[in-house]
Amino acid sequence: MGNVTENIVMERLNELRTQIRHHDYCYYVRTMPEISDAGYDRLIRELEALEARYPELATPDSPTQRVSGEPLEGFTQVTHAVPMLSLANTYSKAELKEFDDRVYKLLGHRNYEYVVELKIDGVAVALVYEEGLFVRGSTRGDGVRGDDITANLRTIHSIPLRLRKPKSIALPPLLEVRGEAYLSRAGFERLNQEREDEGQPLFANPRNAAAGSLKLLNSKLAAQRPLNIFVYGAVTAGLADTHFRSLDLLEEMGFRVNPHRKLLPNVAKVVEYCDSWEDSREQLEYETDGMVIKINLYSQHEQLGATAKSPRWAISYKFPARQATTKLQDIKLQVGRTGAITPVAILEPVELSGSTISKATLHNEDEISRKDIRIGDRVIIEKGGEIIPKVVAVITSLRTGGEKVFQIPDSCPVCGGKVERPPEEVASRCTNPLCPAQVVGSILHFSSKNAMDIEGLGPALVEQLVGNRLIADYADLYSLRQEDLAALERMGGKSARNVIEALERSKSRPFSALLFGLGIRHVGVVAAEKLADLFGAIEALADASVIKLQEISEVGPVMAKSTSGFFRDPQTFRIIEKLRQAGVKLAADTSIPVDTRFQDKTFVFTGELTDFTRSQAEGLVKQWGGKTSSSVSRKTDFVVTG
Ligand code: IVH
Q: Tens digits of per-residue pLDDT, 357-393? A: 999 988 888 889 888 999 999 999 987 645 678 898 8
**Protein residue closest via CA to atom 4 of ligand 1:** 119
Residue 181 CB less than 6 A away from ligand 1: no
Nearest CA to ligand 1 atom 18: 119
Contacts for 380-386: CB closer than 8 Å, 24+ residues apart: 380/204, 380/205, 380/323, 380/324, 380/325, 381/323, 381/324, 381/325, 381/326, 381/345, 381/347, 381/350, 381/352, 381/357, 382/322, 382/323, 383/322, 383/323, 383/352, 383/353, 383/357, 384/322
Of 216 and 205, which is predicted with more confidence? 216
Full-model pTM: 0.59
Instruction: Please tell me if the CB atom of residue 381 comes closer than 6 angstroms to any atom of ligand 1.
Output: no
Helix axes 3-24, 37-53, angle to 10 degrees: 150
Task: For residue 125, give the ligand 1 atom closest to its CA.
Answer: 13
Higher pLDDT, residue 352 or 217: 217
What percentage of the chain carries pLDDT values higher than 70?
Answer: 98
Check the CA dihedral 585-591-593-598 and report its sign.
negative
SS3 256: coil
Amino acid 411: pLDDT: 95
Rounded to the nearest whole angstrom, what is the distance from the C-alpha of residue 315 to the centroid of ligand 1?
A: 9
* Ligand 1 pocket, mutate which of 80, 82, 85, 87 (most atoms under 8 A from CB): 87
Mean of pLDDT values over 409-416: 94
Strands (E), 150-270: 174-183, 227-234, 261-264
Exposure letters 29-51 (e unless 16+ CB within 10 A, then b): beeeeeeeeeebeebeebbeebb
Which residue from 243, 292, 310, 312 has its CB within 8 A of the most atoms of ligand 1, so it is best to mutate?
292
CB 228 within 8 A of CB 155: no
Region of poorest pLDDT, from 13-27, 424-438, 519-533, 591-605: 591-605
310 CA: nearest ligand 1 atom: 2
Closest CA to 252 of 408, 505, 25: 25
What is the structure's pLDDT at 181? 98
Whether ligand 1 lies within 6 angstroms of the CB of 87 is answered as: yes
User: Which pLDDT score, from 0 to 100, does residue 319 have?
Assistant: 85
Q: What is the mean pLDDT of residues 147-153?
A: 96
Q: Is the pLDDT of residue 249 over 60?
A: yes
Tens-digit pLDDT profile for residues 81-104: 999 999 999 988 999 999 999 999
- 292-339 pLDDT, tens per residue? 999 999 999 999 999 888 999 999 999 877 788 999 999 999 998 989
Return the pLDDT at 591: 47
What is the average pLDDT across 436-442? 94
Q: How far is the CA of 82 from the centre of ligand 1 (A)?
A: 15
Give yes or no for residue 1 having a pLDDT over 70. Answer: no
Cα separation, 323 vs 343, in Å, equals 20
pLDDT at 640: 87
Residue 625 near ligand 1, beta carbon < 6 Å? no
**143 falls in which pLDDT band (50, 70, 90)?**
very high
> Contact at 8 Å (CB) between 130 and 270?
no
pLDDT in tens, 574-611: 999 999 999 999 999 864 556 778 888 899 888 777 77
- Range 493-502 contact pairs with CB under 8 angstroms and sequence separation of 24 or more: 495/456, 498/455, 498/456, 499/454, 499/455, 499/456, 499/457, 499/461, 502/454, 502/455, 502/456, 502/457
pLDDT, mean of residues 235-249 = 94
**Mean pLDDT, the chain, as a whole number?**
91
Residue to substitute in 119, 125, 286 for testing ligand 1 pocket (most ligand atoms within 8 angstroms of CB): 119
Kindly state if the Cβ of 125 falls inside 6 Å of ligand 1: no
DSSP state letters, 508-571: TS-HHHHHHHTT-TT--HHHHHHHHHHH-BHHHHHH--HHHHHTSTT--HHHHHHHHHHHHSHH
More confident residue, 619 or 24: 24
Nearest-angstrom CA–CA distance, 71 and 66: 14
86 lines ligand 1 (CB under 6 A): yes
Instruction: Give the single-character DSSP code of 26.
Output: I
Task: Identify the H or E element spanning 366.
Answer: helix 365-370
- State whether the beta carbon of 471 lies less than 6 angstroms from ligand 1: no
Biggest CA–CA distance in the chain, Å, is 110
Q: Name the residue with the closest Cα to ligand 1, atom 9.
A: 119
